[in-house]
Structure 1
């Protein structure tokens, strides 16, 4: 009888050990199943991001073609090259050429004297400060262009809110004041501050000529 009880006890111990081993194996299998979901997670993290713009918004292409603009009758005689294909708008004595985020503004007026660094600083800058949202960083200098010595005003300001997206762009401006015999033409070039339009704006401002 003692031998039988001993055998039964050993049998129960073996059953318990096997049961525990199976339970351990099942637990390990469940815990090991979680890594199988990691490749999907990694795949999501490694998904290709949206492509980065090759040029900052507002860059004028290097292959842009320029065409001569001449004002209609009743305006001062001059010519200036503007980018071909840009939308044209007439606002009295002002002509606008726009494309996406860039603008060429040409305004013809009369003036009793040639503009100077002092007159632009004391008269034009305060006017623009009141008109341009968040006007800042004005700098007035004299520069040489093909038409001769001109006064250039550079500054920054916020664009008007886009009527569709509601977005506002921080713009950089270059304003050139050309003068001859009582006639003044103000040429203003503008685009986003992060755009590289140095060469295009030089082409336009250098092309101005009286006729």
Structure 2
């Protein structure tokens, strides 16, 4: 019985060797490569331009004590308090909101004149949920990084809202090439005057 099992095992081994020899070497190599290849090729990691604000960013309301406005800003950004507003920063992006007294509503020409040294791309009057505003889009160098000294070219959107002798100036900035159209629209649409 033991001899019969050994003979059968040898016959199977010889048959397998014969089949392998009958298959051309090139075909065997291709078959081995296909067998060893992974079932699916992993997708490349998405690389967003520097300054892109993630799509899953959560926005929270901010009200400066004693100032008559409210605006939404990304949750978790660092805040710097200013006398009539605040600045919010995260990596290469920033949001700044301040108020000032104004004798009359802003005109496109007066807002254009406020841009010092920037390359103006557009100036227009727009409507947001908080009312009409003069919007200027321009490019300028960022402040030098405090550690590396590196300067990047920023694209800046500035909105000037007006109500009852007061302007609110909302400035949004991030590196040129960052796709922040939707986040900046969320922020500019969230601006609103409050009762106090």
Q: Normalising by structure 2, what TM-score?
A: 0.73
**Which residue does 1:82 correspond to in 2?**
73
Deviation track 1:42-93 (CA, whole Å, cap 9, x = no partner) reads xxxxxxxxx97610000000000000010112x2x11110010000002322
Q: 1-side partners of 2:181 and 2:75: how far apart?
A: 18
Q: Secondary structure at the match of 2:80?
A: strand
Change (3 A) 1:60 1:185: same
Pick aligned residue for 1:66 from 53, 59, 81: 59
Are the equivalent residues in 1 in contact too, given 2:64–2:85 (CA < 8 A)? Answer: no
**Which residue does 1:191 correspond to in 2?**
174
**Equivalent residue runs for 1:132-147 within 5 Å:** 135-147=118-130
Q: Which runs of 4+ in 1 moved over 4 A?
A: none
**Which residue does 1:205 correspond to in 2?**
188
Q: 2-side partners of 1:160 and 1:52: how far apart?
A: 30
**Which residue does 2:17 correspond to in 1?**
none
**Which residue does 1:157 correspond to in 2?**
140
State the superposition RMSD in angstroms.
1.5
Pick aligned residue for 2:94 from 84, 90, 103: 103
* Structure 2 residue runs without a partner (length 5+): 1-43
Q: 1-side partners of 2:164 and 2:69: how far apart?
A: 13
Pick aligned residue for 1:124 from 95, 114, 120: 114
- Please tell me whether Structure 1 or Structure 2 has the larger radius of gyration of its CA atoms: 1
**Where is the helix percentage greater, Structure 1 or Structure 2?**
1
* Structure 1 residue runs without a partner (length 5+): 1-50, 130-134
Q: Secondary structure at the match of 1:177?
A: strand
Deviation of the 1:124 alpha carbon:
1.1
Q: Which moved more, 1:194-203 or 1:154-163?
A: 154-163
Q: Normalising by structure 1, what TM-score?
A: 0.68
Kindly tell me the number of residue pairs found equivalent between the two proteins.
Answer: 151
Change (3 A) 1:63 1:52: closer
Q: 2-side partners of 1:57 and 1:100: how far apart?
A: 9
Q: 1-side partners of 2:149 and 2:110: how far apart?
A: 36
Q: Secondary structure at the match of 1:106?
A: strand
**Which residue does 1:26 correspond to in 2?**
none
Q: Which moved more, 1:168-177 or 1:137-146?
A: 137-146
